[in-house]
Amino acid sequence: MSTITFSLRCILSGLVHEIINSKTPKPVKFDGTIGLLNANCNVTNDGETLEILTKNSEGACSVSFKQLNLSEKKSLLNQTLSFKIEFLSTPTHNDVGRHGGIYYGESNYKRFTHDGNTIVEWIDRNWDRGYHVYEKVETEAERIEKRLLPLNNEPAEHWKITILENGEELFEWGDDLKKIIKTEAQIQLLNKPYLGFWAYDFNHIKISNFIIQPYNRSDDDEHGI
């Protein structure tokens, strides 16, 4: 192989690598995250990992708008959110256990209100164990009826949420549980989203590889949307 041919191959290989990297979405940086209520928000790994620690009451870590890499209108419509979530401890002081997740919508952090937030969570508690998606306080009967439980009875580490223009949201927890839910939150409230991660009393949750990217409509057939 001539020196010129080898050099050209190296250049082409470098260009291909740059193109692939330019199209690969980068994780959200958690720098500037604000702790709300009782949350201690620790940011590590060059800003790409967030740990939430709470004590005797729940709390949240609100992610700054500028870190979300959204369009100028700051819309979550037609966007896919994905992240890895790890529950690093199992509280034993009550029957709730591991409990927390993500929220987004109109309010900075008001989990039990009608202000337009969507809350996605996992809970260990026996009678309503599983995933829950809601915008307001649910009765015990509603929580039992609407809960979603994966096959292995444990929370998946990889969560994926797609927010569609028609008000539907596609939730994927790991590989064995997918659900399309028509949320009650008005679509326009998602145009200026507040977003963060929250944890219940005495929980320790780690969030990493949080990526927001435009929804790929070619997935429609796969998901039956």
- Work out how many domains the chain is built from and give that number: 1
Quick check: is 22 in a domain? no
Is the Cα torsion angle 181, 184, 187, 192 positive or negative in sign?
Answer: negative
State phi, psi for 155 to the nearest 5 degrees: -70, 135
Q: Which two tokens stand for residue 53?
A: 């620690």
Cα(71)–Cα(122) distance, integer angstroms: 30
Model confidence at 18, pLDDT cuts 50, 70, 90, reads very low
Q: What is the pLDDT of residue 187?
A: 66
Q: What is the pLDDT of residue 21?
A: 44
Q: What is the pLDDT of residue 52?
A: 97
Quick check: is 68 in a domain? yes
Distances (CA, A) of 83 to 101, 113, 189: 11, 25, 23
Quick check: is 5 in a domain? no
Cα(9)–Cα(66) distance, integer angstroms: 39
Token pair 């509280």 is at which residue?
Answer: 91
Cα(153)–Cα(122) distance, integer angstroms: 11
Highest-scoring range by mean pLDDT, 88-92, 104-108, 178-182: 88-92
Model confidence at 202, pLDDT cuts 50, 70, 90, reads very high
Cα(83)–Cα(174) distance, integer angstroms: 11
Quick check: is 178 in a domain? yes
- Which segment of 23-37, 62-76, 147-161, 199-213 scores lowest on mean pLDDT? 62-76
Q: What is the pLDDT of residue 77?
A: 85
Q: What is the pLDDT of residue 157?
A: 97
Model confidence at 43, pLDDT cuts 50, 70, 90, reads very high
C-beta of residue 99 within 8 angstroms of C-beta of residue 89: no
User: Which range of residues forms the domain containing residue 34?
Assistant: 29-223
Which are the contacts of 181, defined by CB distance < 8 A and separation ≥ 6?
Answer: 133, 168, 169, 171
Quick check: is 1 in a domain? no
- Which residues are 170's β-sheet partners? 162, 180
- Residue 63 sits in a domain whose CATH number is 2.60.120.200
C-beta of residue 129 within 8 angstroms of C-beta of residue 153: yes
The model's pTM: 0.84
Quick check: is 2 in a domain? no
Quick check: is 152 in a domain? yes
- Which segment of 9-13, 43-47, 100-104, 124-128 scores lowest on mean pLDDT? 9-13
Task: Please give the share of the chain, as a percent, with pLDDT higher than 90.
Answer: 50
Quick check: is 92 in a domain? yes
Cα(124)–Cα(107) distance, integer angstroms: 26
pLDDT tens digits for 51-101? 999 999 999 999 988 888 776 667 788 899 999 999 999 999 899 999 999
C-beta of residue 78 within 8 angstroms of C-beta of residue 163: yes
The answer to whether residue 206 scores a pLDDT higher than 90 is yes
